[in-house]
Structure 1
Amino acid sequence: MHMEIMEALRTRRSIRKFEDRPVPGEMIRDILDAAMMAPSAGNAQPWQFVVVDDRAVLDRVANIHPYVKMVLQAPLGILVCGDLSKEKYPGYWVQDCAAAMENLLLAAHGLGLGGVWTGIYPMEDRVAAFRKLLKLPEHVVPLGFAPLGWPAQAPRSESRYLEERIHHNTY
């Protein structure tokens, strides 16, 4: 199932409840391919991804992040990380990896899956916990973790457009 980009943007919601069934490897590859299509400063592509589908590891993730309990139901999660050794312009990895995360979530939605972005960086305790659990090298910084799976909920979408947040030429 594929959807038009505007429909995908308007209907993607954070999914925190999942069905108990696996996600095919080909879909995971497609999601990661979409993530890596994100724009990045100087086209540096300073990202690394850790796909977590081991149930024991997913369960441990629930204990190291206060807002990721939905991972206990999810068949997998993807950790989006910035690789500081790949940066051309120091500090822009956060924007680059945020764009990759959004692409990842939109691709998952477009394939009929659901996911939710749980933030890690800049919370140092979360960064340290994910670094230790997933054995990340020092130059790799976890930005966010996305539990993914087949949605077991269908949150409503409403426009978030606010005219008062738009400014033309000056604030």
Structure 2
Amino acid sequence: MTAESSEAPERALDVLGALHSTPARRYLAPDPIPESVLWAILDAAIRGPSGGNAQGWGWVVVTDDEIKQRVAAWYRENWEAAYGRRREEFLSGAPTGGLSRRGFLGADHLARHIQEAPVWVFAVLRDAAGSTNPRTGSSIYGAVQQLCLAARAYGIGTSLTTLYGGHEDELRELLGLPADALTMALVPMGYPAKGRWAQPKRRPVEEVVHWNRWGVQRSRGAEGGA
């Protein structure tokens, strides 16, 4: 097990500290995650919000190599179709309007090694299979983020992906899901094998925040707060 691993949180992280230092971690070691830690992370995840507090969710924890290998093949198929075939373009460093070179390398590594992550968690929503509501996932994504933040407290890396898509019926059978259920995300989990806990780079908050109407922006610290 890596030096970062522990059956107790690595340190007391305050809420904002965790929020500012939980990037997607795509280089994951195969070291096992203690079951007690996994339970603690899942218990924190289910404290997240759900629509109407209905908690119409389920969490499928996958450690079985046969399941992983099958899903990983779908994942790589989708990765190649969407990004992998443009490898040279991304690695050239030329503006692509999508992934940066570094971002591509991390995502490419995950696509090729996702089955090595010791634990996968599928976030599953009930009564969602026939939904046409584009906001259906809002009933579980808050809890998914809590899963990622709780993992962060234990030094465990995560990333949220849906790139296995297009095989939902096969996945439903593989995981034994109820007919009304739909997976909303896959979160591979593992102790980081590369990289560090750092604040993800983002566009300045002033560029993406609009006040009362789209296009109305102000400088940070300007008078007339909400």
Partner of 2:147: 104
List per-residue Cα deviations over 1:101-156 (Å, max 9, x = no partner).
Answer: 111111111110001111169x5x23223213212121110011111011112254
Pairing of 1:3-152 with structure 2 (within 5 A):
3-65=13-75, 66-67=78-79, 68-84=111-127, 91=133, 93-119=136-162, 123=165, 125-152=166-193
Cα distance, 1:84 vs structure 2? 1.2
Where do 4+ consecutive residues of structure 1 move more than 6 Å? none
User: Which residue identity is paired with 1:79?
Assistant: F
Secondary structure, in 3 states, of the residue corresponding to 1:31?
helix
Structure 1 length normalisation: TM-score?
0.86
Alignment check: 8 A CA contact 1:71 1:77 kept: no
Gap runs ≥5 in structure 2: 1-9, 80-110, 215-226
**Do 1:120 and 1:142's aligned partners in 2 also have CA atoms closer than 8 Å?**
no
Matched with 1:170 is: 213
| Alpha-carbon contact 1:80-1:145 (below 8 Å) kept | yes
Find the aligned partners of 2:122 and 2:172 in 1 and give their Cα distance: 11
Q: Is the 8 A contact 2:156 2:190 kept in 1?
A: yes
Task: Label 1:15 to 1:159 Cα distance change in 2 as closer, same or farther (>3 A).
Answer: closer
* CA drift at 1:63: 1.1
Verify the 8 A CA contact 1:81 1:143 in the aligned structure 2.
Answer: yes
Instruction: Give the number of aligned pairs.
Output: 165
Which structure has more strand as a fraction of its residues? 1
State the structure with more CA Rg. 2
Q: Is the 8 A contact 2:72 2:115 kept in 1?
A: yes
The letter for the 2-side match of 1:21 is D
Q: For the Cα contact (< 8 Å) 1:31–1:107, is it kept in 2?
A: yes
Partner of 2:199: 157
CA RMSD, 1 decimal: 2.1
Partners of 1:58 and 1:100 in 2: CA distance: 23
Alpha-carbon deviations, 1:32-74, whole Å to 9, x = none?
Answer: 1121111111111111110001122222220122344432220
Contact 1:64 1:130 in 2 (8 A): no
TM-score, normalization by structure 2: 0.66
